Structure 1
């Protein structure tokens, strides 16, 4: 066993994801201590070589870093705020789902108790942990990331986003926005095509081709957003808005839900009314950046 994999690590929280994290560390040969409120969830991990700590405090002491994967940030504070838990000198890697405000507040809370802190987000399902398909986003002090990069790499592709502890959570929800938007658009098209007898499996390859093509536009559109300049190199927003209007009309004509395209059409109409009709579609960033009514 080399120095990289001989450094002990603790995993606190053994839901399906926590079990996958601990399992990947054990598979990599990493000495792994685990803790969970329901101890039976550790049975297989213990059989595979993990050490089950009797308390959270003992679990924290056992590793050079403690990976947290619990229900929410409230649970993090409850578990680590107990009187018998000493955080001084430890590194907390919090992979619990939450928002950026909670992440920043927890980073401050941990520092006040003498701990180093990295916040993170898991962009994966349990089955992909420990593989190149498992993406582990992290944010916080870079030296702390570098000190534990080898451990994080055993869980998947470890991606460092920056010093701001809230960045991992922000990237997480931004990624979910992409995922749900693509899926919702596909469901909209599928619902419409089914009225003509086209099943989802027949439509899916065409939809996939469209999604890949649109993804190729993103770097160029990103340059426009970052410059704050939106020349109509492909089509004007007015042209795009007319096409969205056709989508609304078609959806209503075939009797399927048109709420989603109506929402986007309303945003486009506001941008056009504000004088952006002759610019390219990414100018809608101004609408997305505006607080909702």
Structure 2
């Protein structure tokens, strides 16, 4: 086993002061490297492994300990083992030869809810404790709490509480349920909403593309302000879905919004913009109105997508 030991690599006490809990990290892509640097900066002894060993070099220079194999990293792990790998399949491949008995596995690898549930069972069958996570941040946000990044966790709540202080070093830590799949489900739900927002931004800038004298920076400011003001609609939709009354608190109903869609589509035609990013949502709205629910808000569209 190839290792590099630094003064941080020993878990114990120094001059009577308890040291920070050790962390083992498997996977040193952009996100893994950002996580590693945050724990090193906070004084945690850090052991790292990466499929491409050269990526560990800079972290070793900064105080990390490198192992030649993932199994070797697990063997010496005395604290949480963080997985930040390519995908769920790579988790299985990486840990295939490792002894997981008694280990605390915290999987920050992007996965689906069902993959997370299967991986939790897989880990438990091998004697490990398991927590799944979904990172709601990009690498530059890690270690910078002022950016608002956080990680969603689900699964073993006792495991989350045991390592909570360590997990909060890179970004905020939010527990979202005992079901191991719920962190991934929340992650994908949030990213899906973000994708829809990016689609809207793309359409908005396409509309103004022909206008050479239009201030795009000014439009960006207006978009940011408007979307921020509208984001609170999520609370209203959640309340309607909980109560089953989709007319509760509605100020702009589907009938009104569907009528207004004509102007959006006509403007797209005038500006020679393909409406494909908006048309599917508008079609759902029209279908719900045709079913006789024009007085509702958008919550009724959830069922049309099969989400109920």
Q: TM-score range by the shorter chain?
A: over 0.9
The 3-state SS of whatever aligns with 1:224 is: helix
Give the CA deviation at 1:120: 0.6
Identify the residue that residue 40 of structure 1 maps to in structure 2. 54
Give the CA deviation at 1:264: 1.3
CA distance in 2: counterparts of 1:126 and 1:241, whole angstroms: 40
TM superposition outliers: structure 1 runs of 4+ over 6 Å? none
What's the C-alpha RMSD, in Å, of the aligned pairs?
1.6
- Structure 1 residue 142 corresponds to structure 2 residue 157: yes
Contact 1:90 1:116 in 2 (8 A): yes
Give the CA deviation at 1:199: 4.1
1:21-71 C-alpha deviation (Å, 9 max, x unpaired): 111111110011011121111111111111111221120122221100111
Identify the residue that residue 206 of structure 1 maps to in structure 2. 222
The 3-state SS of whatever aligns with 2:278 is: helix
Q: Label 1:157 to 1:290 Cα distance change in 2 as closer, same or farther (>3 A).
A: closer
Identify the residue that residue 36 of structure 2 maps to in structure 1. 22
CA distance in 2: counterparts of 1:90 and 1:80, whole angstroms: 12
Give the CA deviation at 1:275: 1.9
Identify the residue that residue 250 of structure 2 maps to in structure 1. 233
Contact 2:200 2:278 in 1 (8 A): no
Higher helix share: 1
Give the CA deviation at 1:288: 3.2
Moved more, 258-267 or 277-286: 277-286
Identify the residue that residue 142 of structure 2 maps to in structure 1. 129
Give the CA deviation at 1:290: 4.9
Unaligned segments of structure 1, at least 5 residues: none
Contact 1:194 1:200 in 2 (8 A): no
* Match for residue 239 of structure 2 among 206, 215, 223: 223
1:141-168 C-alpha deviation (Å, 9 max, x unpaired): 1000001101101111011111111111
The 3-state SS of whatever aligns with 1:93 is: strand
- Structure 1 residue 53 corresponds to structure 2 residue 70: no
CA distance in 2: counterparts of 1:148 and 1:213, whole angstroms: 36
- Structure 1 residue 190 corresponds to structure 2 residue 205: yes
The 3-state SS of whatever aligns with 2:110 is: coil
TM-score, with normalisation over the residues of structure 1? 0.93
